Amino acid sequence: MIGGLYDGGPTYHSVGSGRIETFHWRSHIKLSRIIILVPVILFIVPLFTHYYLSKVESDSPNIDIHRTRSKLEAFEDFTSMKASDLKSRIEEMMRIKISVSNELRDLEAKRQRLQMEVSGFTQRIDELKQELLHQQTDLDRLKISVVQAQVAQREAVERNTPELAPPKRMLVNSLPPKVPPSHHFHSCRMHNCFDHSRCALTSGFPVFLYDPDLYSVVNPAWDVDGFLKTTIKQTLGYNPHLTSNPAEACVYIVLVGEALSTEAHGTKSSPLDVDKLHSLPYWGGDGRNHILLNLARRDLSVGSGNIFDELDTGRSMLVQSTFRRSQFRDNFDLIVPPILGPPGGDVWQDCPLMLPARRKYLLSFQGEMKSASRFATTPLGHSDDADADNELNLDVFIIQHLREMTTGMTLDKFLIQFECIPASDERKSVEIADWSLCGTDSSRKSILKDSTFALILAPSDADFLSTTLMQARLYEALRAGAIPVILGGDQVLLSYGEVVAWRRAAVFLPKARVTELHFLLRAIPDSDLLAMRRQGRTLWERYLGVAQGAVDTVVAVVRDRLGIPPLPAPQTPSPSVFNESFIPLRADNIVAEPEAEESLGPLEPPYPSPSFRRNYSTFLTQGHMIWNDWADPFNLYPQLPYDTVLPSDAKFIGSEVGFRPIGKGAGGAGKEFSESLGGNHPREQFTIVMLTYEREQVLINALARLYGLPYLNKVLVVWNSPKPPMEDLRWPEIGVPIHVIKALRNSLNNRFLPFDAIETEAVLSIDDDAHLRHDEIMFGFRVWREHRDRVVGFPGRFHAWDQNYHNAWNYNSNYSCELSMVLTGAAFFHKHYTYLYTHWLPQAIRDKVDEYMNCEDIAMNFLVSHITRKPPVKVTSRWTFRCPGCPVSLSEDDTHFQERHKCINFFSQVFGYMPLLNTQYRADSILFKTRIPHDKQKCFKFI
């Protein structure tokens, strides 16, 4: 029995058969004491044995002498180290030593196991403490969530009204009744010649097109441009407002087309057959709600194109390029450009680069004055009509001054031609006094591309408000990037003038100011030159460049007059990658990585952003921007990143619904900050869109990290692989829905499709291998709420000018004090830009993305910067965030960067300039690195 050798309880030793049994219950064996035990056993045991045998011999005289003697002799032999038995004795002692050594090793192993158990218990205690903090944080979040839910319930009770939603479409179901013909069509306006009862605000503006093959209104003696007729019929067929039911139509379009000249037919009859026009089945006696569409295409320098002059067109609207001043009815008739472009498609190939700002020629003009027939027999300056005489004299003075300007003492170069060189395609004007076109289309285009400004002279006959020739010159100037200078701009109107702000793209100058022309053009700085050139190109691409845009604009202008919103922009369906019967497996024990213990916001049920709330007011308050800045009046969007902001006091006085001010308006530090969103906008959530391709485990880990993320509405996983997910793949429960979308094809453009499953304005685009902390995501979301029209995110990049080798742009990812792009591998942007990326961005850019399987993030930055003329916003100090241990991505390959160099230069060609803008700051949280009292919390611990 040996006690006191170990801490924590008794230990029992039993010596026998060379084994030592040890029982230990409470504590570890200390190594130092074990070392002392070894010599004790090796030296004390033999002595104890000797003492025992001697004791036996002395105390037992009657024992068998032979047996006792043997023991004594053996002991005597052992003690005297006789050679015969020494080996066996040594072996015996060695066995004892080995046994003790084995026991010591067993004791050490048990000590280590006990130590590991103690470490495990200690770790478990720490985990329980951490879990307690987690549970406390969750409890705090739930308390905040309850408070927010109570506020939302109180708001709903106080309002006691349903959410605003557009009512169902109200359509008429009867044909226009016949009424007596109107003889006051010259005084027609929308209030007295248009039947508003057929066009309810919620009607969607249905448009009916008379089939030009069945309902031709052109005189048989005239030929109609078949190409134009087919093109207009086709483009109108793509318009979403078109209806095949005349009973529900709001307006009726009659395609007149372009008839050949009277010279070709040798007849002076009108190309329009009025009897056929009045006999149209839905004419209704007076032609109300009818649009007579007369679009020119070929004979730009032949005739006036004014086929409706002095004809009884009833109460119908007239749409053409040529109008007399006495004929045009303001805000009723419509001036349109000639159809000179293709039916549809990308048109950027026809446009040169916008740079340099100043070109070879400061001003150019090619044209020849053809006097009208009424002036043909009268020399200039000798007409009986004083006004006409003054007009012609003024034109003569203009010609003389422009010629003198080109030969004056100036370093500016001019190209002014007032006499056309005879050419095979030259035509002569016979009806109006106008400036004919000189040369071929290609020659004029070449000159205009070298011109900073293009001179456009108003018709010498001031009775004309617009002519096809003048509109054609405007078209050609904008296509070539030459800023139009309209001399006589105070007496003419341009295409779609009631909605398009032409003064942002052209210079208007009265003819009397021709002597100040040179001074004015030289006074315009480069920044304004490029702004006007960019605006002109935007207007040309959207409204003039292709037949589709021109026809859609006609419909949009009439609809805009009536205050009827356009139809909703098309969304992309979000089909699930799983069939209806398959139920994905759910993971039970996937634990997200531990986040910093701080409250980041309440955990709320999914809350979609209110949509289509400004259907009838957007065009009232922001119509000018819609037509001229965003250049997209053809679609109605559920929300816009440019929605108006209420003043700060409105959220406390009368308009508090939805707002969650910090500390109920009193403000506060971190604790109060984490309980509410605050800011200038009502509460909202965001949707995560994650693109993935055959990296299941990486995806699952990325999803698991999103557990407990506040303000998250849902997660959309765009499954780009043709192979469906493995059936045994276990999906984590993260507290919000995970919607896995089956992509139609493998394309990086799928990242920016306007999926109908996205129900929030805010979209967080994130790579499946990106690694962001929750506080970083929440801070990025809060920053985006104050910069809703921009890309807000984490990885910054910039474009750099490579002047040493290629004299072009390079894509650069080095650390820099400025940036111009925030990659969409981890960035917030408004859902509105997904519509523009998919339907508004030139197709050539999306094709390039598919070709390289690269650059979609650069394309989105180009788009947003082009629309807003603002740089992106980078948040926090994070530069890269790749997931450690994830498979190598495409971006690790040097080819990836070479392709991005090519993309950035190609995109610049498509846009005509470099839209990216540099920024030299990033956004960090308020109170970041600020010393505050110990009883106050910072907004974010690490930001």
DSSP characters for 276-337? HHHT-TT-TTT-TTEEEE----S-TTSS---TTTTS--TT-EEEES-EETTT--TTTSEE--
Q: What is the mean pLDDT of residues 636-657?
A: 90
pLDDT reading at 252 higher than 90: yes
| Closest to 291 (Cα-Cα) out of 359, 388, 194, 178 | 194
pLDDT at 224 (0 to 100): 65
Report whether pLDDT(421) > 80: no
Lowest average pLDDT, out of 666-670, 681-685, 843-847, goes to 666-670
- With cut-offs at 50, 70 and 90, classify the pLDDT of residue 231: confident
Domain 682-923 has CATH 3.90.550.10: yes
Paired tokens of 722? 């043709």
Cβ–Cβ contacts within 10 Å for residue 458, how many? 25
Local structure of 353: helix, strand or coil: coil
The pLDDT score that the predictor gives to residue 12 is 38
Angle between helix 441-449 and 468-480 (nearest 10): 50
Listed residue (404, 395, 399, 397) closest to 419, CA to CA: 399
pTM exceeding the 0.95 threshold for the entire prediction: no
**Stretch 699-720: mean pLDDT, rounded?**
94
Residue 5 structure tokens: 């050798």
CB 210 within 8 A of CB 247: no
Indicate the average pLDDT of the chain. Answer: 83
Over residues 102-155, the pLDDT tens digits come to 999 999 999 999 999 999 899 889 888 878 877 777 777 777 778 777 777 777
Domain ranges for the chain: 15-159, 185-335, 348-545, 682-923
**Has residue 854 got a pLDDT over 80?**
yes
pLDDT band for position 13 (cuts 50, 70, 90): very low
8 A C-beta contact, residue 382 and residue 375 = no
**Averaged pLDDT for residues 493-522:** 95
Report the range of poorest mean pLDDT among 215-224, 843-852, 854-863: 215-224
Beta-strand ranges (E) seen in 516-662 are 585-586
pLDDT band at residue 41 under the 50/70/90 scheme = low
Would the CA dihedral through 905, 908, 910, 916 be positive or negative?
positive
- CATH node for 348-545: 3.40.50
pLDDT at 751: 96
CB 306, CB 280: distance < 8 Å: no
Number of helices (H), then strands (E), in the chain = 22, 28
Q: Helix crossing, 894-911 with 856-868: angle to 10°?
A: 30
Asked if 509 and 520 count as a contact pair (C-beta separation under 8 A), the reply is yes
Strands (E), 803-900: 808-812, 821-822, 826-830, 873-875
- 334-380 pLDDT tens trace: 999 998 888 887 889 889 999 999 999 999 999 887 554 333 334 44
Q: How far apart are CA 599 and CA 147, in angstroms?
A: 15
Percentage of the chain beyond pLDDT 70 is 80
pLDDT, residue 877, reads: 80
Domains 348-545 and 682-923 share a fold: no
pLDDT tens-place string over residues 546-597: 999 999 999 999 999 999 999 999 999 999 999 888 888 887 665 555 556 6
By the 8 A CB rule, do 563 and 209 touch?
Answer: no
Q: Please pick, among 77, 560, 857, 924, the residue that the annotation labels catalytic.
A: 857
Burial class (CB in 10 A: 0-12, 13-18, 19+), 137: middle
Distance in angstroms (rounded) separating the CA atoms of residues 510 and 487: 6
Indicate if 768 belongs to the active site.
no
- Tell me: cis bond preceding 281? Omega within 30 of 0 counts: no
